Amino acid sequence: MTPDFDNAFKGLNVDSHSYIVILTRGHLHDQTVLEQALTDPAHIGMIGSRTKTGQNP
């Protein structure tokens, strides 16, 4: 967990063996963290409501 979404991965070594799960309190924060995560992780997972992801039951 990080208190600062703008520096979510500061001090972490993210590489092709890393798995990242993004779960914040709002989709704008998700985007901020996702932009930082798109370096070289093996897998990125995100959780969102059906409304925000565009999926319907």
Strand ranges in the chain using DSSP code E only, listed in sequence order: 19-22, 43-46
Distance separating alpha carbons of residues 28 and 3, to the nearest angstrom: 15
The pTM of the whole model exceeds 0.75: no
**Pairing status of strand 43-46 against strand 19-22:** parallel
Is the CB of residue 12 less than 8 Å from the CB of residue 33? no
Higher pLDDT, 25 or 42: 25
Q: What is the pLDDT of residues 18-36, one digit of tens each?
A: 888 888 877 778 888 888 8
**Domain residue spans of the chain:** 13-52
Span 1-27, average pLDDT: 82
Amino acid at 37: A
Euclidean distance between the first and the last CA atom of the chain, given in angstroms as a whole number: 31
